[in-house]
Structure 1
Amino acid sequence: MIRRFKRPRWTCVQCLYAQRRANATSAAAARPSPAPATFTTADNDHDDQTLRRIFDSQHFWDEFLQKSRHQVGHKSAGLLGNRYLMQPEGFQTYAQATLLKCQKLVEKILAVETVEGYKGIVRDMDRLSDWLCRVIDLADFVRMSHPDRRFQAAATAAYATMFEYMNKLNTTTGLNDQLKRAAAIPEVLESWSEEEKTVANILIRDFSKSAIDLPDGARNDFVEISNEIAKVGSQFEANMAPEKPYINFSSSRLRGMDPTVVKRLTRFGTSTVPTTGSTAVIALRQIEDPDVRREIYVANRTASKASVKRLEKLLNARSRLAKVAGYPTYGHMALSDKMAQTPEAVNQFLEALLADTRPQVQEELQDLLDLKESDARSDNFPHRINAWDRDYYTSRLLSGLQTRIRPDTLAAFFSLGSVLQGLSRLFTHLYGIRLVPRETLPGEAWTDDVRRLDVIDDSGNHIAVVYCDLFSRPGKSPNPAHFTLRCSRAISDAEVAEYAHAPHAFASPLEAATDGMAAARDPVSGTFYQLPTIALICDFPRPAKGSTRPTLLSFRDVQTLFHEMGHAAHSMLGRTELQNVSGTRCATDFAELPSVLMEHFAFAPKVLGLWARHWETGKALPYELVQERLELEKRTQGAETEAQILLAMLDQRYHGVPAGEGSVDSTAVYHDVFDTFASVHEPAGTAWQGFFGHMYGYGAVYYSYLFDRAIANRVWKCVAGVLGDERLEHGGEEAMKEVGRWGVREGRI
């Protein structure tokens, strides 16, 4: 019934040659760079310029931040405005206060006996879900992102408390019975809005997935196993590590690698090379000695035994959960409420997509083989491309094709502030909203590097809040991520009035009703709404201290920021009265569509014309430079798509084991999938699956990225009527197979 509505974080997978693709049509390539857009409203222009400067000038940001300090002094406003969270120990107080509220509301729901009472039951259950998610989603974010370990520990404890309570509610038969009684009364059903009817169906389905119809013992098992999955999954995601963190070589064996990097790694003639991270990526692309590359590749693709063991423990728990819930596999359980519906449908999609992708992969491999045969050593398998050859020869191939673009050429036009400015301008054109910088109060943000952006519509109404934590710092995860901290929900006057005479930690009943986070009254309906609140996390390098040069983003960084802001747009534009259907609270295999679609906008000529200027000269970006880079991107698109397909297949295999059959040999399954379907086989001894962090948040639904990319291609090209195709209307096997035939290559219609 009560779901943890977290869109799993997008995290980079180092073994893939790249994760995201910019897509541009050939027709767009012929267009000249368009003139920049103009903004004539004085306030809008001021906000527009301020938006760029708070990210591009540290001096300007320091001055901007001090405004709030002078206004309110230095007393903490509480994390995100929540006064419970002025200190780490406040998390437990917050969790306990929320538990008391939830328990009272559960008692109210269970006591309903009248028709009038049943009319309000969906809103009460949605409110119950919202209260739980307020703590769970915020605690999950803080334990992953806050730099203070005390806050991390407190958030972890609060998360565990609320997650366990949520699982108990999911197996509370009385709540399920009351909801079904309400839905069976014609007068009640007729009184519900479409949102209420939709939420009622969602909650009834979720109760069914939570073994609600089984005996007490089975329901207790369901709660225990669900808690185990949350614990083990979090541990797996947070502690992924290689079996060999470093490998030593004589520095003379690193020939071809950037000398400045080699110097940094070398002491007394011995170079210590990290097996993961950017240094390993550079090594695999540049080192000439194939034996060195092979050793680095194998280490890069071999997770620690502890990581593999945690993954297998997670898979085993999911299999046991499926058995308790009465599903043949965990895959069937996870997909029952998704667009795909069944594992069979997902496999149809993946097989069709693999067939579409395979010819391009073979062409790419032949290009690499031609290059290798011209200089390969006789002892390095001269007539085939090995896994440890792929990055090296791809890098050489692209270097030979690249004629005009040095690594820093495009970046000079992509300052972080200008990209955010461009996103705001694009949103104004598309949706009539803009991003407005706002000073954070003391204690509101988890670090002074965080920039708060309020989302304002074209009538001046406040509709959402985005917290941007985009600069690197020690201990921070390098993986880009989007967190929905709170979704839209209508806050009734009666709900606010409940706090008028009740004790609370806030300055007003409205603040108490929203935990101090952003809220606004709708100018048309007069209804108060808690506003969607989003955190965007990236790991971009900060400018050198004292330098006027801003943070300059790479081509991939721009794609990443557009992708994550696509998720944010999905949340900020999803105003609904009930939070169960707000924004990213949707089927997981649809959640990536808005973000993938945003990637298409990133390098479209008209969009670049809105913002892409040289950080120093103000010169517009010549589009032919972008087009050359896009053409280079196409040269490896097949390999990258195949890699994603293989991971999605692996995900299905892991979650397709018959329920309750016991432990899975994840390494054997991994090699079987890659030996069967990969164009280039993995070396023996590798165990990359221990790095597959998506297995926790995207278990059995990793195909979503590819599925939504295929759909996004069609949406971008505006193929008339495609989404009205009868084969696609109800999902399932035929729909998935058809989408797989579409492919994910640009230019395919």
Structure 2
Amino acid sequence: MIRASARPRQLERWVCSSCLRQRAALAVLQPREPRQLAQVRSLHSVQRSQQLQGKKQSQKQLASPFPSRQTRHYAYVAPTDDREDDNLLRTIFDKPSFWQEYSALPIGMNVGLFQNAYLTSPKGFETFANVSLARARRIVDRVLNAYTVPEYRRIVRELDRLSDTLCRVLDMADFVRVTHPDHKIQRAANAAWDTVYQYMNELNTMTGLYEQLDRAMKNPEVTKVWSEEEKAVAEVLRQDFLKSAVNLPKWERDRFVQLSSKISTVATAFVHEMTPDQAWVAIPSSKMRGMDPVQVRSLTRNGMVYVPTLSAQAALALRTVHDPEARKMLYYASRTSSARSVSTLEMLMRLRAELAELSGFESYAQMALRDRMMARSPEAVDKFLRALAGSNKPRAVAEFGAMLREKQKTVPDAEALEPWDREYYSTILRKQATASERVPRTDVLSSFFSLGTVIQGLSRIFNLLYGIRFAPRPPLRGETWHPDVRRLDVVHDTEGRVAVLYCDLFYRADKSPNPAHFTLRCSREILPEEMDEVWQEQMSQAPRTDMPYFQRPEFAANDGMAFSKIDGKVKQLPTIALVCDFPQNNDDSQPVLLSYFQVETLFHEMGHAIHSILARTSFQNVAGTRCATDLAELPSTLMEYFVADPSVLSVFARHYETDDPVPYALVSRKIRQARLFEGSDTENQIILAMLDQALHSRRARDDAFDSTQIFHDLQREFGSGPPDPRGTRWQGFFGHLSGYGSTYYSYLFDRVLAQRTWEVVFKGGAGGAALERANGEHLKNSLLKWGGGRDPWKCLAAVLNEPKLEDGGEEAMALVGSWGAARQQGGMSM
């Protein structure tokens, strides 16, 4: 997690002179609502005028062949003044009444969700899916019938376009079916997703496509003209085919499909049906001293306190109850999953091992790590985790030593910590760590983080680092799925609009509460022949009135969505949705105020978005976050360092009423308190990553496979603190084993890389380096802009100036592990 890069200075002197100049240049503009609203009305007027003009023009030019269809063609509205956009950002998020008027649309045609001209009604999803499938089948026919060298040279681009054609439906439909409040639209999106997904599965087992790609990759006359990005895409596509066992005989492919289906079923059951061995723990109320008495009373019946095993109350009791016997009872219960959960887990591991063996691999880990992973092998992951464990151990030992010394204050003859002591004594030490500091209460910290201020700050930071900023735009009719959704154009200082960002940041009962970044459409270059093909397709469908009509080929090739045209090249622009669950105020009396860790979450998710925005590759298979899986969290984790840096906070963190800058001592205290035991937390994550590897190793094939024994052995070999006692079996609660499947280490891997990048590229924030354009450009040009289109080890070697990393492998993984993952404590010592 995050640490401030330097010790806190005295309250009035924590900002250096260069930062003060920077802050003055970026001072918050006071709201000037009349002028802003005048601009909004003007903008609405322009858009309405464009709609009417476009409609008249289409009727005039195309009245005979297309008399009953509306034209989807909107000119891009040029950005307003950047200072006006900067002020507007804060206002549209902090003042609901202003947003309501700002987004009040003039009467006009429905442009469709995300400005996709097909998605103007539930029926449109079916139409979009069918049109996309027809295009996909034409591409498949061309690939299967390729036989000349020029045709083979185009195969990678054709297959990438095929993937993009299907993903345009899948990615949007997947987002809509879990986010849109209209159940009819949800069902329509789900049906479209099912239809296209079924076809994609057919393609993944189509041996002809794989064989054609394989021929192309083996022909030097073909590959010699491919770019580095094209070669990367070819390898990604080849691995995707191999994951579907397309190279196996038919009976083995059939078995592969059966196993894959069964694995999916068992994995779902493991996650959704995991249960503790006992549902609740009964403890005499006299033994519950220290816990919130209100909570205790709510759980008490006839002198006994009945604590649900897996609950917030159980976690609170482990932190606060003084009686060690009561904590012991709770610990055993909360660390012991049911025998059924463990049995389901072990069944999942055995099925995955069988699938790997069928595919010709020694283990499931070996199979999983060969595809889009920097580690490439279980041996390399082991090297990383062992090196990280070694670099982290001194800190973990010190932390457990501090807990033991605290215990000895009340139990003088104590020689060791018990497993149920850890949460209790770490909580005491956290309180002591900041009790003597003379700073205001931390609950006032949110006053400096209104949602509008934070979004404004992110725009300023990205402008300083990469020359891009957020420009608010009133959504057109039908463009968004809820009135609360804000639409932002992402504007580059020389290239104009480079992405579209939809912010759905407020809580709704029918929306997932999990913060997330969704890439609704990736970057991809659209060739002239592709636009001609789609244009001819439109002209051939003249009698149909249920299809949208586009005035120009580039609009048709983008389904009406955003694109750029620079130096004659047309690229579809990344379209991104950012989803959070912040509480919303319905009036202007006070804006939505975020806790520090909500701000950190928003920065993290925006780190994913900036990766998608900057990596505007020519191929969608490697665009943005479609990179090595164990590299994907680096940009987002890196953003957590920025939000903890004083020079960065000085750019935006200001009190919502007084406009005073945030006192950094408040932030520093919050961070230090939360990260006080990061070494022991990291050690636990290392052991879980090792468990993930061990369960997906060859051991899963053994008759004596015992996941409980494996977990306990790892704790005793690599843990510095008290291990789980015999009789517990916590691994039955490890739900991440379902989704990660031998890649759980990637969280730790990216933490280390983010810390190293912060220290090497941004100098740990020293001297304002966190906001220097040269540093941002270096990160962008060395790593971010490539997406997955370049060997990630070469990207890392360039960004960190570490030639030893360039070829990857086990030694490179060990080197990364040796850097450690513990962040600075902001001046606090253990």
TM-score of the superposition, structure 1-length normalised?
Answer: 0.86
What does 1:567-586 correspond to in 2, within 5 Å? 567-586=608-627
Pairwise CA distance, 1:96: 4.3
What does 1:158-307 correspond to in 2, within 5 Å? 158-230=192-264, 232-233=266-267, 255-258=289-292, 275-276=309-310, 280-301=314-335
What does 1:247-396 correspond to in 2, within 5 Å? 255-258=289-292, 275-276=309-310, 280-301=314-335, 311-337=345-371, 338-375=373-410, 382-396=414-428
After superposing the two structures, state which structure 1 stretch, 422-431 or 503-512, moved more.
503-512
Which is greater in Rg? Answer: 2
2: distance between equivalents of 1:349 and 1:417?
40
Q: Which residue of 1 aligns with 2:146?
A: 112
- The reply on whether 1:38 has 2:20 as its aligned counterpart is no
Pairwise CA distance, 1:174: 1.5
Change (3 A) 1:476 1:303: farther
Letter in 2 for 1:102: A
After superposing the two structures, state which structure 1 stretch, 526-535 or 468-477, moved more.
468-477
- The reply on whether 1:625 has 2:666 as its aligned counterpart is yes
Given that 1:168 and 1:223 are in contact with CA atoms closer than 8 Å, whether structure 2 keeps it comes out as: no
Aligned to 1:123, the other structure's residue is in SS state helix
Q: Which residue of 2 aligns with 1:98?
A: 132
Change (3 A) 1:200 1:443: same
Given that 1:316 and 1:662 are in contact with CA atoms closer than 8 Å, whether structure 2 keeps it comes out as: no
Q: Deviations over 1:101-122 (max 9, x none)?
A: 3222111110112222222211
1: distance between equivalents of 2:305 and 2:474?
46
2: distance between equivalents of 1:482 and 1:241?
30
Given that 1:89 and 1:154 are in contact with CA atoms closer than 8 Å, whether structure 2 keeps it comes out as: yes
Aligned to 1:538, the other structure's residue is in SS state strand
2: distance between equivalents of 1:90 and 1:662?
53
Q: Which residue of 2 aligns with 1:8?
A: none
- The reply on whether 1:53 has 2:91 as its aligned counterpart is yes
Letter in 1 for 2:604: H
Letter in 2 for 1:358: K
Pairwise CA distance, 1:49: 2.2
- The reply on whether 1:22 has 2:2 as its aligned counterpart is yes
- The reply on whether 1:64 has 2:105 as its aligned counterpart is no
Pairwise CA distance, 1:256: 3.4
- The reply on whether 1:560 has 2:540 as its aligned counterpart is no
Q: Please, which runs of 5 or more residues in structure 1 have no aligned partner? A: 1-20
1: distance between equivalents of 2:328 and 2:410?
17
- One of 397, 401, 423 as aligned partner of 2:429: 397
After superposing the two structures, state which structure 1 stretch, 189-198 or 685-694, moved more.
685-694
Change (3 A) 1:521 1:635: closer
- The reply on whether 1:474 has 2:509 as its aligned counterpart is yes
Given that 1:171 and 1:212 are in contact with CA atoms closer than 8 Å, whether structure 2 keeps it comes out as: yes
Letter in 1 for 2:85: D
1: distance between equivalents of 2:697 and 2:122?
41
Q: Deviations over 1:285-337 (max 9, x none)?
A: 33444445445545554556776565445434422321221111111011124
Pairwise CA distance, 1:575: 0.6
Given that 1:353 and 1:740 are in contact with CA atoms closer than 8 Å, whether structure 2 keeps it comes out as: yes
Aligned to 1:437, the other structure's residue is in SS state strand
Q: Please, which runs of 5 or more residues in structure 2 have no aligned partner? A: 30-78, 764-796, 826-830
Aligned to 1:213, the other structure's residue is in SS state coil
2: distance between equivalents of 1:226 and 1:104?
29
Aligned to 1:455, the other structure's residue is in SS state strand
Q: Which residue of 2 aligns with 1:650?
A: 691
What does 1:687-702 correspond to in 2, within 5 Å? 687-702=729-744
Change (3 A) 1:327 1:163: farther
Letter in 1 for 2:389: L
1: distance between equivalents of 2:155 and 2:696?
35
Aligned to 1:500, the other structure's residue is in SS state helix
Change (3 A) 1:502 1:420: farther
Q: Deviations over 1:125-161 (max 9, x none)?
A: 0011112222333344344444556655655555454
Given that 2:122 and 2:184 are in contact with CA atoms closer than 8 Å, whether structure 1 keeps it comes out as: yes
Aligned to 1:199, the other structure's residue is in SS state helix
Q: Which residue of 1 aligns with 2:71?
A: none
Q: Which residue of 2 aligns with 1:709?
A: 751
2: distance between equivalents of 1:703 and 1:348?
11
After superposing the two structures, state which structure 1 stretch, 461-470 or 714-723, moved more.
714-723
Pairwise CA distance, 1:91: 4.6
Q: Deviations over 1:474-503 (max 9, x none)?
A: 354443322222210112233233243254
Change (3 A) 1:144 1:249: farther
Change (3 A) 1:616 1:341: same
Aligned to 2:444, the other structure's residue is in SS state coil
Pairwise CA distance, 1:51: 1.8
Q: Deviations over 1:673-722 (max 9, x none)?
A: 33443323235555544443433442211111211221222221117988
Q: Which residue of 2 aligns with 1:5?
A: none
Q: Which residue of 2 aligns with 1:729?
A: 806
2: distance between equivalents of 1:274 and 1:143?
34
- One of 534, 557, 566 as aligned partner of 1:513: 557
Change (3 A) 1:646 1:452: farther
Q: Which residue of 1 aligns with 2:63?
A: none
TM-score of the superposition, structure 2-length normalised?
Answer: 0.78
Change (3 A) 1:368 1:144: farther
Given that 1:361 and 1:639 are in contact with CA atoms closer than 8 Å, whether structure 2 keeps it comes out as: yes
- One of 170, 183, 205 as aligned partner of 1:136: 170
Letter in 1 for 2:210: N
Given that 1:345 and 1:732 are in contact with CA atoms closer than 8 Å, whether structure 2 keeps it comes out as: yes
Given that 2:634 and 2:750 are in contact with CA atoms closer than 8 Å, whether structure 1 keeps it comes out as: yes
1: distance between equivalents of 2:511 and 2:305?
26
Q: Which residue of 1 aligns with 2:634?
A: 593
After superposing the two structures, state which structure 1 stretch, 334-343 or 323-332, moved more.
334-343
Change (3 A) 1:297 1:130: farther
Letter in 1 for 2:426: T
Q: Which residue of 2 aligns with 1:738?
A: 815
Count of residues in Structure 1 that have an aligned counterpart in Structure 2:
718
Change (3 A) 1:27 1:507: farther
1: distance between equivalents of 2:336 and 2:180?
29
1: distance between equivalents of 2:129 and 2:341?
31
Pairwise CA distance, 1:387: 3.5
Given that 1:218 and 1:324 are in contact with CA atoms closer than 8 Å, whether structure 2 keeps it comes out as: yes
- The reply on whether 1:122 has 2:156 as its aligned counterpart is yes
Aligned to 1:727, the other structure's residue is in SS state helix
Q: Which residue of 2 aligns with 1:12?
A: none
1: distance between equivalents of 2:484 and 2:519?
19
Q: Deviations over 1:47-94 (max 9, x none)?
A: 2222223333333333333x23x3437x5x544344555555655554
After superposing the two structures, state which structure 1 stretch, 148-157 or 410-419, moved more.
148-157
What does 1:432-581 correspond to in 2, within 5 Å? 432-459=467-494, 461-474=496-509, 476-497=511-532, 498=534, 499-503=537-541, 505-508=547-550, 510-516=554-560, 518-522=561-565, 524-543=566-585, 545-546=586-587, 548-581=589-622
Given that 2:3 and 2:672 are in contact with CA atoms closer than 8 Å, whether structure 1 keeps it comes out as: no
Q: Which residue of 2 aligns with 1:11?
A: none
2: distance between equivalents of 1:283 and 1:454?
48
1: distance between equivalents of 2:418 and 2:162?
54
After superposing the two structures, state which structure 1 stretch, 355-364 or 181-190, moved more.
181-190
Pairwise CA distance, 1:460: 6.4
What RMSD over aligned residues (CA atoms) do the two structures have, in Å? 3.5
Given that 1:315 and 1:664 are in contact with CA atoms closer than 8 Å, whether structure 2 keeps it comes out as: no
Aligned to 2:724, the other structure's residue is in SS state coil
1: distance between equivalents of 2:340 and 2:191?
23
